[in-house]
Amino acid sequence: MTNDQIIVPLDVPDLQSAIALVDQLPQVNFWKVGLELFTSSGPTILEVLKSRQKRIFLDLKFHDIPNTVAGACRSAASYGVDLLTIHATAGRDALKAATEAVQVGATQAGVKPPQLIAITLLTSISSRQLAFDLKIPVELPEYALEMALMAQECGVNGAVCSPQEVAQLRQTCGNDFLLVCPGVRPTWADKGDQKRSLTPAQAILAGADYLVIGRPITAAAEPELAWNKIVEELTTVG
């Protein structure tokens, strides 16, 4: 377990707040830029993070028709980020188009292509909501696994799943398939809108490559202390 396996999201409304958070937590090496910050402030934050030698997860969760997803992936891949997200439910054609587009975009820009990872089922969705609201008549773990397998067949590099499904995905998809787990909660933290959480240590033991941990750190009274507590807990799992 290394510090680089913990990704902290910059879920803040503007560039200034993002830079303040990066300054406040110099121990964090891997930051996530998501919809809130990218929509308000655009790609400037990516340059800021790169100038500080940070790794970047650009989490734009693309979900559209294949042609549009491919265009978005070409553009996103030109930034030279490490990870990029697409929803598995965009479907096979979009997943294949995205896989090819990240290579094209990165090659054209002369940068390393990002690892493309597919969201299986948002960690804010419960089994009950999957059945009753989304009308999906499949058990949740099976659904998440099927989404991951479809993404893998399309050449996608990995998946985003809740820690509760990660062991099964690891077993079925193998060790080369990247597994990223948000919805991670230390025992002392609020669950908030996360429905399928486990602790950081449990998630790593179950086979996650990376954990995305936001509010337990960023909304803590003392974010640095919260970070240290999590890192300490994780040292117990090697």
Ligand X SMILES: O=C(O)c1cc(=O)[nH]c(=O)n1[C@@H]1O[C@H](COP(=O)(O)O)[C@@H](O)[C@H]1O
> What are the residues binding ligand X (CB under 6 A)?
9, 11, 32, 34, 59, 61, 85, 119, 122-123, 160, 182-183, 192, 194, 212-215
Closest CA to 42 of 50, 33, 51: 33
- Is residue 181 a contact partner of residue 210, using CB atoms and an 8 Å limit? yes
Q: Nearest residue by C-beta to ligand X?
A: 214
CA dihedral 171, 174, 178, 180 (to 10 degrees): 0
Among residues 61, 112, 191, 195, the one annotated as catalytic is 61
* Dist CA 237 CA 233 (whole Å): 8
Q: Quick one: 84 or 106, whose CB is closer to ligand X?
A: 84
Closest CA to 63 of 85, 80, 82, 78: 85
Q: Quick one: 123 or 152, whose CB is closer to ligand X?
A: 123
* Dist CA 166 CA 174 (whole Å): 11
Nearest approach in angstroms of CB 138 to ligand X is: 17
Please indicate whether residue 229 is annotated as part of the active site. no
Nearest approach in angstroms of CB 34 to ligand X is: 5
Q: Quick one: 45 or 122, whose CB is closer to ligand X?
A: 122
Catalytic residue numbers, as ranges: 61
